[in-house]
Amino acid sequence: MTNGSAAWSRTRGSPGCYAGEATALSPIEQLTDRYATGRARIAWQQLAPMTALEAFSAVQADPEAGPEAIAAALTLLPELHGALDAAAADRKARADQA
């Protein structure tokens, strides 16, 4: 499933670009550009990338994910670990209060 460009840049008429300028995308934007469908595709066209978890999961589920997509997904791991750690701490605090 490839929706975006192989060059990982956007041109005029695409989110984040002005007056025909090509701009490099961040890793989350690269993955959103490639994998977003349905509501996520519509949101991306309005400049809202997928969540880190959605993007990482999309790469993980794609048997044809190339090196660029995999590398972009790996850059999301610190954010994902932080979110999971925060969620675990919150749940532990709630359990301790019960």
In a domain, 38, yes or no: yes
In a domain, 18, yes or no: no
Query: What's the predicted TM-score (pTM) here?
Result: 0.59
pLDDT of 41-68, one tens digit each?
A: 888 888 778 889 999 999 999 999 999 9
Rounded mean pLDDT of the chain?
81
Domain count, the chain: 1
Domain span at residue 80? Answer: 26-97
pLDDT of 67-86, one tens digit each?
A: 999 999 999 999 999 999 99
pLDDT at 4 over 80: no
Instruction: Residue 4: name the closest of 54, 44, 62, 56 by CA.
Output: 44
Instruction: Residue 56: name the closest of 70, 38, 44 by CA.
Output: 70
